[in-house]
Amino acid sequence: MIEFRNVSKTYDNGTKALTDVNIKIDAGEFVFIVGASGAGKSTFLKLIMREEVPTSGTVKILDYNLNEMKKKKIPYFRRHLGIVFQDFRLIPKMTVYDNVAFAMRVIGAREKQIEKRVPYVLSLVGLEGKMKCYPTELSGGEQQRVALARALANNADIIVADEPTGNVDPQMSIEIVELLTRLNEMGTTVLMVTHAHDLVRKFDRRVITLEHGCIVSDGNVVDSAAAPVTNEPPKITDEEKTLASVDELVSQTPEYKTEEFAAKVEEEIQETLAEENTEAEGETDADEGGND
């Protein structure tokens, strides 16, 4: 499902964000990704979403080799991913229904499909009665559930939740993770990046801990707590600060902003469709020329 083989990522300024990362996550797993600011979590997510490619090593997700993926294939790959962000990233001028439907419209789904799918995914998150509301009319927990419904709109194989409980109260945090757990039990693979160690302990799933760009533990809560940290790079204050800056910069790139990201996805899809149409026309012309 998801495999990182000897993956390292060094940015153009020389900062090493990830070093020799090896991870294998099977279909249907629920995995917490934990680590302090600057540990490399944002870079890890960027590699999964194919916003970045590794400097060395290989990233494979589903049947895709992300290292070798052509630009025109990226939008199609991303349809397998459902992304949930800490700050919701809903479009304020759209209703709950249209925020979720938008994720389907940008990939060209038919309105009949949208009319059937959107109420279904909103019912999964308990918001079927809020379809006509706007984001400003919802609580933080409800907005996060809308974001989760949007991630589910295209029947994603993998849900990537980036600090989904960061802007909600403790009780709602538990409810959000319980919802992710139910989705996982339905067969969806879930990756959740979090700083909330109390939630990690409560739900006792597989935990991958990143520190200074390296994996320092991988196992359930008990194993992770007991496992000795080996081959840990020396703690360098300046390096920590630099890595934190990189993570912050990565998390604020235009691709992560709702409207800009949506526009970019739509632009990439339109470019791909145009290329395919041109290729198809070329093949048709060639066939007609042969018949002449």
pTM of the predicted model, to two decimals?
A: 0.72
Query: Who has greater pLDDT, 71 or 229?
Result: 71
Q: Is the pLDDT of residue 25 over 70?
A: yes
Which CA distances in Å does 263 have to 106, 169, 187, 254, 259? 9, 32, 30, 10, 6
What is the C-alpha to C-alpha distance for residues 65 and 271, in angstroms, rounded to an integer? 22
Q: Residue range 145-153: average pLDDT?
A: 91
Q: Residue range 40-60: average pLDDT?
A: 95
Task: List the domain boundaries for the chain.
Answer: 2-8+27-270
Q: What is the pLDDT of residue 55?
A: 96
Helical ranges in 106-195 per DSSP H: 111-124, 140-152, 170-185
Q: What is the pLDDT of residue 169?
A: 82
Q: Is the pLDDT of residue 154 over 70?
A: yes
Q: Which CATH architecture has domain 2-8+27-270?
A: 3-Layer(aba) Sandwich (3.40)
Per-residue pLDDT tens over the stretch 166-219: 877 888 889 889 989 988 999 999 999 988 888 898 898 999 999 999 999 998
